[in-house]
Structure 1
Amino acid sequence: MLNNDRLLVQILLLGLLGASLWVLAPFGSALFWAAVLSFASWPLMRGLTRLLNGRQTAAAGLLTLGWIGLVAVPLVMLGFNLAEHVGAATALFKGYQITGLPPAPDWLVEIPLLGESLLGLWQTIAQQGVAFLATLKPYLGQVGNWLLARSAQVGGGILELSLSLVLVFFFYRDGARLAEFARSLLERLIGDRAEHYLELVAGTVQRVVNGVIGTAAAQALLAFIGFYIAGVPGALILGILTFVFSLIPMGPPLIWVPATAWLFTQGDYGFAIFLGIWGMFVISGVDNILKPYLISRGGNLPLVVVLLGVFGGLLAFGFMGLFLGPTLLAVAYSLLTDWVANKTPASQPPRESLPPDGLD
């Protein structure tokens, strides 16, 4: 017979848990980012706490200020710069509507196979001028709406990132207690295998974080090389901004595309084409190769599991899926592997009992 009082308590506890998750749901992304950031930089937190003679609150505050200066300040500066360049791009387009395109560059006709055709197209557009640009207005409206939607998504991501930089202070300060609570809860659920799966999840998240940061560093270096070769001013600053924006889906094009457009406006068409190709196939292309490799390196996960986790997680959960996808598949893969490896041995035939004393 069921204990009605115990059943009522369980129902109330489940309702309380559901209500708590409902309250925290709007902050899910920010909490997730704060947890990942604090986990990835926890060795820094330990070292700084030792330097400050065990003062965890002071160490957490210093690290949080460091992240704000490293991430939030460049994003604010970039926002002001983009606002200025939007006005300049609008004025440039209005000027083209009146005067048409400038004369074609000399190197355009020297392009193999396509030079004459491109020169004819350039001259046609320059002659028609206003009429041609007028035909582009409906499409420009659609492009503007698309850019507005993408800007809203990026703005929402930046807002979540800013909130996570505030929440990371509490993860630093109370991280040890949260880890102990997670270990106790998992031991209550699955028993002796809790430590194994905690190490599995921690290792997977660490590899994913290393893959994301390593890929962002590689993209920043390649972007700096491209900007330096093309002669774009502030190549080092743009490289640092590329590192920051590499943590956002489709982030690096927000840096190298405006730089390519600026080169076109300055008449450096050759370097503009070079930077466009470099950005599309090198800066943005390395993300699809280096990130899965770094995530799978050092672990026992097949590369195909990592690839499915990264891309499937992005499609299913958005950017958070970059961490959730490989972690979920890693835990599932390990569970299945352990279940197959630790199968119960086949039943053995019963041993024959020895005859009693005195019998042959």
Structure 2
Amino acid sequence: SAQIGSGVLELTLSLVFVFFFYRDGPRLSAFVLRLLHRLTGERAEYYLNLVAGTVQRVVNGVIGTAAAQALLALIGFLIAGVPGAIVLGLITFMLSLIPMGPPLAWLPVTGWLIWKGDYGMAIFMGIWGTFVISGVDNVLKPYLISRGGDLPLVVVLLGVFGGLIAFGFIGLFIGPTLLAIGYSLLLDWSRNVQPTPTA
């Protein structure tokens, strides 16, 4: 519950940051571009677009994964014959936006099925929830984040999971962005390194 509480707090703080970034976006963008011009010269705009594109893909990945988890949860609830399956599917979507959120939707449903004496459907719901609803997060999110970008999937995976471990929910944005910049700087550096002449 502490992890879920910190996830809700981090999501709230993220929304507050988003509000200020949205409000002061053009001014911040111009400042960052000036700073990058000092650091990287003509590649400044490329790096600014890289950061913006990475963050955009992370947002798409988070929302896309939440939608997929909600749809899979809805299918599971309908198969199990749970009343209010559509409402529970919408709740799953909202809970999917926070770390460890989806089990808060399907675990009580599994408990309700056990209480009702429908043990077969309770076992189904437990397996469906663990491996399908919660499991899709580990596959779909990195895939959606890496899609449409230059980053290899393994770099995105390292960024997503490393960021989450190091910084919590906000690390989902920080991790892939830092790795995208680091990976691109490394590629630029390797292209500019002149081979040393052999005697």
TM-score (norm 1): 0.51
**2:115 is aligned with 1:270:** no
For structure 2, list consecutive stretches of 5 or more residues without a partner in the other structure. none
Partner residue of 1:279 out of 129, 135, 144: 129
- 2: CA distance, partners of 1:163 / 1:316: 17
Partner residue of 2:142 out of 276, 292, 296: 292
1:182 corresponds in structure 2 to 32
1:196 corresponds in structure 2 to 46
Change (3 A) 1:167 1:330: closer
Q: Is the Cα–Cα contact under 8 Å of residues 7 and 168 in structure 2 kept in the other structure?
A: no
The runs of at least 4 consecutive aligned structure 1 residues that moved more than 6 Å come to none
* Structure with the larger RCO, 1 or 2 (CA within 8 Å, 6+ apart): 2
- 2: CA distance, partners of 1:159 / 1:332: 29
- 1: CA distance, partners of 2:186 / 2:156: 16
Change (3 A) 1:170 1:300: closer
Identity %: 75
What letter is aligned with 2:69? Q
- 1: CA distance, partners of 2:143 / 2:47: 22
What letter is aligned with 2:39? L
Question: Per-residue deviation at 1:335?
Answer: 0.7
What letter is aligned with 1:313? G
Question: Per-residue deviation at 1:284?
Answer: 0.6
Change (3 A) 1:335 1:163: closer
TM-score (norm 2): 0.89
What letter is aligned with 1:189? L
- 2: CA distance, partners of 1:241 / 1:289: 21
Q: Equivalent residues in 2 for 1:303-342 (5 A)?
A: 303-342=153-192
Q: Equivalent residues in 2 for 1:10-89 (5 A)?
A: none
Rg bigger for which structure?
1
What letter is aligned with 2:140? L
SS in 1 for 2:24: helix
Question: Per-residue deviation at 1:160?
Answer: 4.2
1:230 corresponds in structure 2 to 80
Q: Equivalent residues in 2 for 1:238-249 (5 A)?
A: 238-249=88-99
1:256 corresponds in structure 2 to 106
1:219 corresponds in structure 2 to 69
- 2: CA distance, partners of 1:213 / 1:330: 20
Change (3 A) 1:166 1:295: closer
- CA deviations on 1:40-96 (whole Å, 9 max, x unpaired) are xxxxxxxxxxxxxxxxxxxxxxxxxxxxxxxxxxxxxxxxxxxxxxxxxxxxxxxxx
Q: Is the Cα–Cα contact under 8 Å of residues 54 and 180 in structure 2 kept in the other structure?
A: yes
Question: Per-residue deviation at 1:156?
Answer: 3.8
Question: Per-residue deviation at 1:258?
Answer: 0.6
Question: RMSD of the TM alignment (CA)?
Answer: 1.9
Q: Is the Cα–Cα contact under 8 Å of residues 60 and 145 in structure 2 kept in the other structure?
A: yes
Q: Is the Cα–Cα contact under 8 Å of residues 54 and 177 in structure 2 kept in the other structure?
A: yes
Aligned residues: 197
Question: Per-residue deviation at 1:263?
Answer: 0.9
Q: Is the Cα–Cα contact under 8 Å of residues 7 and 169 in structure 2 kept in the other structure?
A: no
Q: Equivalent residues in 2 for 1:118-137 (5 A)?
A: none
Which one is further off, 153-162 or 276-285?
153-162
SS in 1 for 2:97: coil
Change (3 A) 1:282 1:306: same
**2:70 is aligned with 1:210:** no
Question: Per-residue deviation at 1:163?
Answer: 4.9
Question: Per-residue deviation at 1:310?
Answer: 1.4
For structure 1, list consecutive stretches of 5 or more residues without a partner in the other structure. 1-149, 348-360
- CA deviations on 1:313-350 (whole Å, 9 max, x unpaired) are 22222222222111111111111111112334778xxx
Question: Per-residue deviation at 1:285?
Answer: 0.7
